[in-house]
Amino acid sequence: MHLPLLAATDTVAVGVTVVATLVVVGLLAAVASLLGAARHLRRQADDLRHEAAELLDEISATVREAGLEVERVERMVGSAQAISEVVGSASRLVGGAMSSPFIKLVALGSGVARGLRLVRGGAGGQAAPPGRDDGRRRHRSRSRAGRGTAARGTAVVVRSSARSEPRRAPTRLVAGKARRR
């Protein structure tokens, strides 16, 4: 018994068929794997879309809250500006109403203090010139032409010396009479 030997062409045909079958099976396995990966990616995309929708809802809520807070702050700033204007006008009103009486009160106090100094210090019954209690006198300078008129805006201060005017000792009032020390 002799088996007929397969012809070379039949062997090649069987080999090509086996290889083609293996290639098709491999391609089918690759397609199945790609389909699994595509399903997995689709699920991931759905999850991302769901999370993105939730995040957008949260962002929208946050933006609405921020808008409400901005409106509230604007109202507060407007109220603060109105209060500031009211306080400013009230301050000007009170300042204007109180400045004149306050100035008069200060002038009265200054006058009373000066009177008390005169009474205590006793300048021999004579009041010193206002603001000049240091023994100096003011003289106006004569014009260069010698006409005897005072030059405008010029004043010369002459200090008194011991030769021209003797200084008096300060006096005190005791029981209505002036006494020298």
Tell whether 149 is covered by a domain: yes
Task: For residues 138 and 141, give the distance between their C-alpha atoms in angstroms, rounded to a whole number.
Answer: 10
Give the pTM.
0.36
Question: What's the pLDDT tens digit per position in 86-127?
Answer: 988 888 887 777 777 778 888 889 999 999 999 988 655 455
H/E stretch holding 177 reads: strand 177-180
116 lies in the same domain as 146: no
Quote the tokens at residue 116.
């008390």
* Domain count of the fold of the chain: 2
Can you list the positions of beta strands (E) in 31-175?
A: 136-139, 156-159, 171-174
Q: Quick check: is 6 in a domain?
A: no
Residue 22, domain member (yes or no) = no
Domain span at residue 85 reads 48-121
Residue 10 within a domain: no
Asked if residue 43 is part of any domain, the answer here is no
Q: Are 109 and 141 part of one and the same domain?
A: no
Residue/partner pairs of 132-141 with CB below 8 Å, 24 or more apart: 135/159, 135/160, 135/167, 136/160
Q: Are 155 and 114 part of one and the same domain?
A: no
Q: What is the pLDDT of residues 130-168, one digit of tens each?
A: 555 555 555 555 544 445 444 444 444 455 444 555 555
Residue at which a domain ends, from 89, 121, 153: 121
